[in-house]
Structure 1
Amino acid sequence: MEQMYHVPVLLKESVDGMNIRPDSTCVDVTFGGGGHSREILSRLNNKGHLYAFDQDEDAIDNIQNDSRFTFIRGNFRFLKNFIKYHDVDGVDAILADLGVSSHHFDDEGRGFSFRFEDSDLDMRMNQNGRKTAAYILNNYTEEQLADIFYLYGELKQSRRIASAIVKTRKEKSYKKISDLLTTFAPLIPRGEKEKKMLAQAFQALRIEVNEEMEALREMLEQALEILKPGGRLSVITYHSLEDRMVKNFFKTGNFEGKIEKDFYGNFETPFRLINNKVIIPSKDEENINPRSRSAKLRIVEKI
């Protein structure tokens, strides 16, 4: 199932960075195909334990039957609540692989890829969620749409796109991916740039549908709370928005990247950087797994 779901990115580097002891209590907040979780379990003895999160129903098929493993069907933004529910006082290591798996991009029924024109505009990671991409396109104001495409897709022509969407939906509601592609056709150039801009637009909608930036912010704050002193946080990012948030938080303990000092002028931070330079995949891994090409790994230790 792992191969069908997705190939784990930076597998050895990210799990090595967790500094796992055989009796560690670990958390994988992005279970997915279970590749990282299997590697973590391989390093634990019968006193160690792994808690794994995923809100996607498809991930349930990848659960391993292991007494050292607990699967939590939920969004990682509720990390602290679920860990407390399981009577865990603190954890030794947390792993987050923030990317969307190839499984989701290749599933025609989920609406994550513009390759499948007849698919519904869905994009929900949690299939029980109420907000879909179609809902956003049909109900958000022109200003809200422009903000989404600009902030989450980094599209310079976000206002033109938003205006075209609002004008189009007056005649016909958005339901299928083909509906959105028709709107985009006169607004973006053909060729390779077209694919890049469509990817940016779909990324923006996906982030909004799943509230990804808000969830990431909440998860990182809670990770700091539940990590034991000396505990490790290993995070793989894939786009500049989430990487900037992780980078700032790791360096300063806040999301603005604001450097704070104590009374004596000493730099205050809750973390020690394990890798001062971001870790990226090798060329061999990029060739084998194209999904890894934009991946960046950052690792910190709680002071």
Structure 2
Amino acid sequence: MLHLPVMFEQVMDGLRVLQEGAYLDGTFGRGGHARGVLQRLGAGGRLLLMDKDPEAIRVAEREFGTDPRVAIHRGSFIDLATWGEAQRGLDGVLFDLGVSSPQLDVAERGFSFGKDGPLDMRMDCESGESAAEWLARADEREIADVLWTYGEEKQSRRIARAIVARRADTPLLRTAQLADLIASVVPRGAQKIHPATRSFQAIRIYINRELDDLERGLDAALAALRPGGRLAIISFHSLEDRIVKQFMNRYAKAPPANRRMPIEIAFTPTLKLIGDAQKATEAETAANPRARSAVLRVAEKIGGAA
């Protein structure tokens, strides 16, 4: 049974797939959105698939590798700026941000505090520093800054202090170790989420450079889009959505007037916002609780190169 990805119909409507168009799914995951695009493409269409996760790339190669309309690249959003296939021009780009369901569901990937596994959290588990390695070397201030900046965790200093104290006696190597430690120092109170939720999210975002990659990826996507091409972004976190919203507004709306600058600066929009931010339907969130925090924003390129 195929997993239907978050906000599938809204994404397909937003991308407005042309039969002979060229599209990029920058977060392949397990291919739910990609299948939808491919089903709408004709023989002359093109679908580019990208993902950091080597397991996702293996799935893409197994399921789509023989289709002559498909090209596959393992890498981050920032590779879009140098991938020759993308530089030929695109009619649509999709980024489905955050961690995928398969990554959350496999304990060995270390993303979930609800499943005990190695404290890894890397989307590309074959390169870079794992969460365990970072927590073993980072000082208390750096840990606290990451938890606050990327997780908006109000107890960031208390958690960082506890991590540094615990690792002096016992290395933090498992997700359950870290989740239990955070729960022991953060009062749950009336909050519905687990005390470790924000900390796990913050560490994952930091380890994978998600926000930096997103900012650079958005620039590259806009440059690669043809006039009339659509940019569709699904966010699951307020920091991600803020970056996407600000990016789209910067190219779609004239900056506010400045009373200290009497000379009006000409503004030519490069993007047109397609509707307002969209949320998953009640039916979808009932079937898939992970869709509750999803926000979809769509914009269309209307000018020349950015």
What TM-score, normalized by structure 1, do the two folds share? 0.90
Matches of 2:300 and 2:119 in 1, distance apart? 40
User: What is the SS of the residue equivalent to 2:27?
Assistant: coil
Query: 1:188–1:194: 8 Å Cα contact kept in structure 2?
Result: no
Matches of 1:87 and 1:130 in 2, distance apart? 25
Deviates more, 1:177-186 or 1:26-35: 177-186
Aligned-residue sequence identity (percent) comes to 39
Q: 2:37 is matched with which residue? A: 40
The one-letter code sitting in structure 2 at the alignment partner of 1:188 is V
Query: 2:111–2:204: 8 Å Cα contact kept in structure 1?
Result: yes
Structure 2: where are the runs of 5+ without partners? Answer: none
User: What is the SS of the residue equivalent to 1:186?
Assistant: helix
Q: How far is the alpha carbon of 1:108 from its aligned partner?
A: 1.1
Q: How far is the alpha carbon of 1:163 from its aligned partner?
A: 1.3
The one-letter code sitting in structure 2 at the alignment partner of 1:121 is L
Change (3 A) 1:293 1:194: closer
Change (3 A) 1:279 1:194: closer
The one-letter code sitting in structure 2 at the alignment partner of 1:232 is R
Matches of 1:185 and 1:194 in 2, distance apart? 13
Matches of 2:69 and 2:97 in 1, distance apart? 24
User: What is the SS of the residue equivalent to 1:42?
Assistant: helix
Query: 1:252–1:260: 8 Å Cα contact kept in structure 2?
Result: no
Q: 2:74 is matched with which residue? A: 73
What TM-score, normalized by structure 2, do the two folds share? 0.89
Post-superposition CA distance 1:95-121 (Å, at most 9, x none): 11113221111101111111123x110
Query: 1:252–1:270: 8 Å Cα contact kept in structure 2?
Result: no
Q: 2:17 is matched with which residue? A: 20
Q: How far is the alpha carbon of 1:258 from its aligned partner?
A: 9.0
The one-letter code sitting in structure 1 at the alignment partner of 2:255 is I
In structure 1, which of residues 227, 234, 237 is the aligned counterpart of residue 235 of structure 2? 237
Q: How far is the alpha carbon of 1:88 from its aligned partner?
A: 4.1
Matches of 1:98 and 1:123 in 2, distance apart? 15
Q: Please give the residue correspondences for 1:144-293 in structure 2 after superposition, counting only pairs within 5 Å.
A: 144-190=142-188, 193=191, 195-253=193-251, 259=255, 264-265=264-265, 267-275=267-275, 277-293=276-292
Q: 2:101 is matched with which residue? A: 102
In structure 1, which of residues 49, 53, 59 is the aligned counterpart of residue 46 of structure 2? 49
User: What is the SS of the residue equivalent to 2:107?
Assistant: coil
Measured on the aligned residues, the alpha-carbon RMSD in Å equals 2.2
Q: How far is the alpha carbon of 1:174 from its aligned partner?
A: 1.4
User: What is the SS of the residue equivalent to 1:109?
Assistant: helix
Q: How far is the alpha carbon of 1:46 from its aligned partner?
A: 1.0
